[in-house]
């Protein structure tokens, strides 16, 4: 459940925030300029290798964002539990986290 929530937030809300952040926008322009300079300074046969490397770096960065966001959610839930704001959150033995109980009113009806 945590992964689905994080994915939804990262794909939607964080993207909106990144697009509005001036520092992120500046870094993005700097990266684009560096990419253009890199592609322009190497023979075309290396472009695919550079593209593959860039894709791998982007995937790693994306995964890091997911992990950081999920850990932030876990830390927030633990803090709320410690402050007695919520109950029924536990850490499972294999390291996965259990979600709080979902109120009956929030559960989807099973479709037949």
pTM of the model: 0.59
Q: What does the alpha-carbon distance between residue 76 and residue 81 come to, in Å, rounded to a whole number?
A: 9
Nearest CA to 14 among 65, 60, 48? 65
pLDDT above 90: residue 23: yes
Check pLDDT > 90 for residue 71.
Answer: no
The pLDDT, as a whole number, for residue 82 is: 82
pLDDT above 60 for 108: no
Could you tell me if 77 and 87 are in contact, meaning their C-beta atoms sit under 8 angstroms apart?
no
| pLDDT mean over 6-18 | 75
CA distance 112 to 109: 9
Mean pLDDT across 31-50: 92
């Amino acid at each position: 459940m945590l992964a689905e929530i994080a994915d939804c937030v990262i794909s939607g809300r964080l993207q909106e925030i990144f697009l509005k952040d001036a520092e992120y926008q500046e870094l993005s322009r700097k990266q684009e300029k560096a990419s253009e300079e890199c592609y322009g300074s190497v023979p075309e046969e290396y472009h695919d290798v550079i593209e593959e490397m860039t894709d791998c770096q982007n995937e790693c960065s994306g995964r890091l964002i997911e992990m950081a966001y999920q850990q932030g959610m876990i830390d927030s839930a633990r803090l709320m539990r410690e402050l007695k704001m919520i109950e029924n959150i536990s850490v499972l033995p294999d390291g996965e986290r259990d979600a709080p109980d979902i109120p009956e009113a929030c559960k989807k009806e099973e479709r037949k």
